[in-house]
Amino acid sequence: MPAAFRKLFTASIGDGIGDDVLRSIMPVIAVAVLGAGAFQTSVLNALGMAAFLLLGVPVGVLVDRWSKKSMLVLANVARAAAVVSVPIAYFLGTLSIWHLFIVAAVVSVADVVFTTAQSALMPTLLRGSQLADGYAKVQSVQSGLAIATPGVVGLIVKVVSAPAMLFIAGAAYLFSAVMTGRLPHDRPSRAESPDRFWSEARDGLGYTLSHPLIRSFMVSVALINAASMFGAAAKVIFALQILNIPMDQFVILGALSATGGLVASMTATRITRRLGLGRTKIAASLASAGFVILVPVAPFLGLAPVVWIGLSGFGWSFFVILSGLAGAGIIPRLVPHHMMGRVMSTYRLFTLGVMPVASISGGVLAMAAGVLPALWGWALVAAASAIPILLSPIRSWTEFPKALDVHSRDIPESADPVAAP
């Protein structure tokens, strides 16, 4: 792998630690420290993804125009500053749910910038099949970190307060900032043209929505992400307040869940080769829904509920990561370099932008009808993520058809950006 990719890969370690600590602790702080209910927790989760819905497309245009390295560094520094404000406010006695809302929103904006710039930079560092290998390597490390981080957090939180754990997240984001700062300088994909800003944004949106293959992948991923967020708040409330699982055990369960992701990242290539790309994605979507069902039925099964919650998390992570890696690196191979930022931001507009909407919807349902309907809704939407693949040519793919790789043939920047292959 090129040296520049290794630096980006190392930066992803800090990014992964920061994200995992933040994901593990923020809902716990909201529920266990501030006494938040299902709706407030769902709002917190929604704000964490809201910027993808509101700012995804404009950020994509900026990524194509500006230095991706600079945007990566800026995003990391902003996230570090935001998360360390939580323990500071806690020790000063001023922490409130509104503070968590603001931090979640700031981190969300920085996440849009970071992920869009990273996605646009990766295809310039790796080529062809290297992309899939690169994504798999990043996923393996992040899954490994996701196993270790919740376990360490669960142990440390017994000794120090939950908000203090966010100092670790801040340090991790600063480490990522240092490593991204060591990347070579990159040239913007396109020159700035203020009067064409929204025209370029529309080009990216049009290319993404008109491309049948990108559209199928996008809708499938959007549904699986929506499913997760739809039941996220309900799962926390169900586990902590109804099943009475201790807070430290619930945090540590995140490690078991992440183990599923790690196992998937280590076996995804073999499974995909054996079953074929299309069958793998379809089977993974349906199986993920089956493991979600273990959550609402946990009180009625033979063992302690914590066992079934842990098994559910393991299976969910395994099949979600397996589905994602089955299509890893395909989208960048369908998009010309000069449009990468705009298309990837539009892709995330739908795949990640749907998450705050789903989170609020799940929270409203949990508040109005109880947490169980929200958990069953999670399983239903997860199963529906198989439908876009079933209705597309992808269902019969054994691997990505190399003839569709736009980087294997010459495509001038003046070419029609919405012409599908």
Backbone angles phi, psi at 405, to 5 degrees: -70, 110
Encoded tokens for 420: 């599908």
Q: Is the pLDDT of residue 170 over 60?
A: yes
Q: Is the pLDDT of residue 79 over 90?
A: yes
Encoded tokens for 13: 């370690």
Confidence of residue 412 (pLDDT cuts 50, 70, 90): very low
Q: Cα(68)–Cα(357) distance, rounded to whole angstroms?
A: 29
Q: Which of 156, 170, 153 is nearest to 24 (CA)?
A: 153
| Total Cβ atoms within 10 A of residue 371 | 25
Domain parsing of the chain, residue ranges: 3-408
Task: Kindly report which listed range (4-18, 140-154, 247-261, 312-326) carries the lowest average pLDDT score.
Answer: 140-154
Give 313-316 contacts, CB < 8 A, sequence gap 24+.
313/253, 313/254, 313/256, 313/257, 313/260, 314/256, 314/257, 314/259, 314/260, 315/260, 315/287, 315/288, 315/290, 315/291, 316/228, 316/257, 316/260, 316/288, 316/291, 316/292
pTM of the model: 0.69
pLDDT, position 129:
61
Q: Mind listing the pLDDT tens digit for each residue in 267-307?
A: 888 898 899 999 999 999 999 999 999 989 888 887 888 88
pLDDT, position 282:
94
Encoded tokens for 176: 């990522």
CA distances from 80 to 29, 148, 165, 178, 296 (A): 18, 21, 13, 12, 36
Confidence of residue 131 (pLDDT cuts 50, 70, 90): low
Q: Is the pLDDT of residue 201 over 80?
A: no
pLDDT, position 414:
41
pLDDT, position 388:
94
Q: Is the pLDDT of residue 391 over 90?
A: yes
Q: Is the pLDDT of residue 413 over 80?
A: no
Q: Mind listing the pLDDT tens digit for each residue in 80-126?
A: 999 999 989 888 888 889 999 999 999 989 988 888 888 778 777 77
Confidence of residue 193 (pLDDT cuts 50, 70, 90): low
Q: Tell me the torsion sign for CA atoms 136, 138, 141, 142.
A: negative
pLDDT, position 141:
67
- The number of C-alpha atoms within 13 Å of 385 and in the hemisphere containing its C-beta is 33
Confidence of residue 130 (pLDDT cuts 50, 70, 90): low
Full DSSP string of 181-215: HTSPP---SS---GGGHHHHHHHHHHHHHH-HHHH
pLDDT, position 386:
94
Confidence of residue 149 (pLDDT cuts 50, 70, 90): low
CATH topology for the 3-408 domain: Growth Hormone; Chain: A; (1.20.1250)
pLDDT, position 410:
45
